[in-house]
Structure 1
Amino acid sequence: MLGLPKSTEFNKRIPKQKFYDNLNVNPVLKHYFVNQIKIVYWANKIAPATVNLAEGKNVTEIEVFLVRLNEKALDENVLKLIDREIPYHILFILEYDGVYKAVIGYKEAASSGKIAFKVDRYYQTDWMTEAELPLHLEGLNMDAVYESFVRQIAGDSLQIAVPQETLAESVARDERREKLQKQIAKLQSKIRKEKQLNRQMELNAELKKLRKKLEDL
């Protein structure tokens, strides 16, 4: 899969019941597992032992999970639950009716508790053929390969703004951008409903400042 070296192939089927029987899954989440997922394959294991890469400081292995779906949608909370419980970084490849989507979470080690990782946000491609997926094994160590996967999948959202910008800094900037976009949309709606001219002018001035901040990102 994805043109990865044969040495990384794992091809192990994981019964989906393993996830919702052994983990703390509420009825709604179990419904998503049962109805949205057809089958899960642990397709590849990318690690220093399976491919010629140096160890990473934060990333020890990247697992590639192929998730075949019953419908062209998968609730993000399903991926989040799997990601939180498995102590490795995971690249999800969703498949439905011959088209594919790559999804990856930005994972950081949890500071405490039973959860191995916390997942801040997910990035995903559009639906496309497997050959069109913008994924290539790039980097000299596991940290670099993981960062490359995240940036490839995120596309323009995580374009490096300044030299030497880390992945964490890019993700934080993307979060600020998303927050500003929501504030701008909310303010625009407020302006449309405002009847008083003076208040409209005040809100427009505030809107201009937010747009400037967005441009600066």
Structure 2
Amino acid sequence: MTQALSSCSWQFPPQTRFDKVIPKTKFYQQAAVNSALQARFVEELEQIIWACKLAPDTVNLPATEAVTEIQVFTLKLKGETLSEEVVAAIDKAIPFPIIFELQRTLGEDRQQLRYLAAYKRKSAADAASWVRSEYLDSGWIPATAPRSALPAAINIERLYQALLVSLLPIPARTGESMDEAIVRLGRLRKLDKQMAALRKKIGTEKQFKRKVELHRELKALQHEQSTLSQTEGAGAS
């Protein structure tokens, strides 16, 4: 997963705290977790905590039809890594947008945090279903790093978008919707893979003419990448 442009760490207001430990078994049936994934839950995850609820009665912001509240889940790791499949299974079981705060300890006292979140919205075809983007990732942050107040927003939906924008590995553009930013990020990630594959081909290609063609293809992809990464006029929406 691509890391966010800048590390972020949030100070969730005391009134939002819920801090309820949720047994792992609660997610097995809800998300149809198979035995292999259950094993990852056991091997990689120490504890699941429903940490905070960002809702009208806790952050004094109105809900919208699209986003009524945001959940914050703390995932305490046993080791250094957590499979994305585990995060996705928890996400699938909860019918609300979620911000995940992963916690791990390196050595005796090096504690770190990492935020993960997918852009999660109700399906246009089925209001009871949810659609998720690929995960946005803050990268690991020292647990002792200063925490920032939640972004200013006029409603819960805008708060959710502001939290996601801070996790984007690309600058958001002025007037760009979250859907558009996610599509642009997805195309950039696809371009990265395509260019890596092309560079590999160029390195092994023996025929000069074919090598020239591959270079031309690579240049076209690089141009598209540059256009999509354009930062002029970019700003958080």
186, 190, 204: which one aligns with 1:179: 190
Residue in structure 2 matched with residue 101 of structure 1 by the alignment:
114
What do the CA deviations read for 1:93-139 (whole angstroms, capped 9, x no partner)? 11111211111111121345797312121011121223537754121
Q: Is residue 191 from structure 1 mapped to residue 205 from structure 2 by the alignment?
A: no
> In structure 1, what residue type is equivalent to 2:80?
K
Question: Number of residue pairs matched?
Answer: 214
2:73 to 37, 52, 65: 65
Please give the TM-score of this superposition, normalised by the length of structure 1. Answer: 0.91
Partner-residue secondary structure (3-state), 1:50:
helix
Following the alignment from structure 1 to structure 2, what is the Cα–Cα distance between the partners of residues 77 and 135?
29
Instruction: Name which of 194, 206, 214 aligns with 2:217.
Output: 206
**Shift in Å, 1:16:** 1.1
Residues 122-166 of structure 1: CA deviation (Å, up to 9, x unaligned): 011121223537754121211111111111122xx24123x2111
Structure 1 residue aligned with 2:179: 168
Alignment CA distance shift 1:170-1:53 (3 Å): same
Contact 1:9/1:43 (<8 A) preserved = yes
Are positions 1:85 and 2:93 aligned together? yes
Change over 3 Å in CA distance of 1:116–1:131 after alignment to 2: farther
Structure 2-normalised TM-score? Answer: 0.84
After TM superposition, which residue ranges in structure 1, 4 or more long, deviate above 4 angstroms?
111-115
| Structure with higher helix content | 1
Q: Does structure 2 conserve the Cα–Cα contact (< 8 Å) formed by 1:85 and 1:115?
A: no
Say if 1:198 and 1:128 are closer, same or farther in 2 by CA, change over 3 A: same
Report the secondary structure of 2:79's partner residue: coil
Label 1:174 to 1:22 Cα distance change in 2 as closer, same or farther (>3 A). closer
CA distance in 2, matches of 1:9, 1:197: 63
Deviation at 1:21, TM superposition (A): 4.6
Q: Which amino acid aligns with 2:161?
A: E
Residues in 2 aligned to 1:45 and 1:193: alpha-carbon distance in whole angstroms: 53
SS in 1 for 2:167: helix
Tell me the percent identity. Answer: 33
Q: Work out whether residues 12 and 41 of structure 1, in 8 Å CA contact, stay in contact via their aligned partners in 2.
A: yes
Q: Structure 2: how far apart are the matches of 1:33 and 1:179?
A: 29
- Equivalent-residue separation in structure 2 for 1:206 and 1:27 (angstroms): 44
Change (3 A) 1:135 1:79: farther
Alpha-carbon distance change, 212 to 22 in structure 1, aligned in 2, over 3 angstroms: closer
Equivalent pair of 1:135/1:152 in contact (CA under 8 Å): no
Structure 1 unmatched ranges of 5 or more = none
Which of structures 1 and 2 has the larger relative contact order (alpha carbons within 8 angstroms, sep 6+)? 2
Deviation, structure 1 residue 59 = 1.0
Distance 1:28 1:136, change over 3 A: farther
Contact residue 136 and residue 149 of structure 1 kept, 8 A: no
Asked if the contact 1:135–1:153 (Cα under 8 Å) also holds between the matched residues in 2, the reply is no
State the distance in 2 between where 1:50 and 1:3 align.
Answer: 14
Structure 2 residue ranges without an equivalent (≥5): 1-8, 106-110, 229-237
Contact kept? 1:102, 1:133, Cα under 8 Å: no
